[in-house]
Amino acid sequence: MKLLLLLGLVALAQCLVHRVPLRKTKSLRQALQEHGLLERYLKDHPYNLATKYFPTIFAVEPLQNYLNNEYFGTISIGTPGQEFTVIFDTGSSNLWVPSVYCSSPACGNHKLFNPADSSTFISTNDSLSIAYGTGSMTGFLGYDTVRVAGIDVVNQIFGLSETEPGYFFYYAPFDGILGLAYPSIASSGATPVFDNMMLEDLVSSDLFSVYLSNNEQKGSFVLFGGIDPLYTINGITWIPLSAETYWQITMESVSVGGKTVACSAGCQAIVDTGTSLLAMPNQALGNILSALGASSNGQINCKSISSLPNVVFNINGNAFPVPPSAYVIQSDGYCSLGFEGMNVPTESGELWILGDVFIRKYYVIFDRANNMVGLSPLL
């Protein structure tokens, strides 16, 4: 079996190196399918084995799954590199980390960037202020070498925090945030990391893809510049963006049990790796809770999980179901729904946020070259 896997990986590697379309040669997926080994392979190898044998082909950033609430990876900044854990957030566009100039409690228990320890740091007089759905920061901007997924991005602009008010970042298991949305929403006009990767031809394709594991399993990743074919065996549905700000798309409706319960006239949604739950307008939340037989605070009888219907998101003429196994959160014998109310007004109406509860069911491709999101159902 090991020889078969290696032969398939060689074929896959040759395709990628020479930019040959995968359909013109036998892929690893096809080789495994022909020998009845695909299902076993996917079970035994939760993320792309090709990176083990051909590490230069892909730029893979492994992510740690923390309690199914946050997914973060490790980057380094400066020369020599100072390491930080960051959320790879498709719902924002700035990179920032705590700094030695920060006096907030949140900076007392996280790693701090020290410009004096980096020979390549360049300071600026530009300030930075960012407010998230939870948490905020202020600080200033600087330039330095940022290493992400084995890629060195030279002269990358990033934020050094001076304040991180409140306690959200104090209790966060990560240090900072690396935004992967469009430059149009970057605070202080800072160029996002992935934009510099594209501008400097550091990735083979102007896209990245994300797999988020479930139940604290290993194997979550961001793949810069490529699509892992092992996660697209069920096909890819491409959805055009409705705005090049967040990764924003148009939904036609949301249904439960075949009946439309929300977004009946269409609505806007963003695919956001930085949001743990599935957020929606408060009225829509009430409708969904009622349709699922949950209490007003989202609590539900754990014994009823097996009989609950899918919540279906109808997008670009296609149905994307989220089953109860994905949207019910079980903890200490209690069960609640992974939905939350959040009124976020936009020019086209209130915004939905398809966070990790949704993303865990799909391999998501964020295509900057064509301004589209690709969704491939996971097994």
Active-site amino acid positions: 89, 272
- Distance CA(204)–CA(181), nearest Å, equals 19
Count of Cβ atoms closer than 10 Å to residue 220 Cβ: 24
In what helix (H) or strand (E) does residue 66 lie, and over which residues does it extend? strand 64-66
The pair of three-digit structure tokens given for residue 177, joined into one six-digit string: 């945030």
Cβ proximity of 74 and 83 under 8 Å: yes
Q: How far is CA 76 from CA 70, 121, 151, 188, in A?
A: 19, 13, 10, 22
Q: How far is CA 299 from CA 33, 94, 274, 290, 361, in A?
A: 42, 35, 24, 11, 22
Query: Are 278 and 342 spatial neighbours (Cβ–Cβ below 8 Å)?
Result: no
User: How far is residue 291's CA from residue 311's CA, in Å, rounded to a whole number?
Assistant: 10
Burial class (CB in 10 A: 0-12, 13-18, 19+), 197: buried
Q: How far apart are CA 11 and CA 23, in angstroms?
A: 11
Give me 333's structure tokens: 């014998």
Residue 149: CB partners within 8 Å, gap ≥ 6? 59, 60, 61, 73, 222, 224
**SS3 of residue 117 by DSSP:** helix
Contacts of residue 5, Cβ cutoff 8 Å, sequence gap at least 6: 28, 32, 41, 49
User: How many residues does this entry show for the chain?
Assistant: 379
Q: Which two tokens stand for residue 94?
A: 């700035």
DSSP bridge partners of 223? 60, 209
The tokens describing 289, both together, are: 């809770």
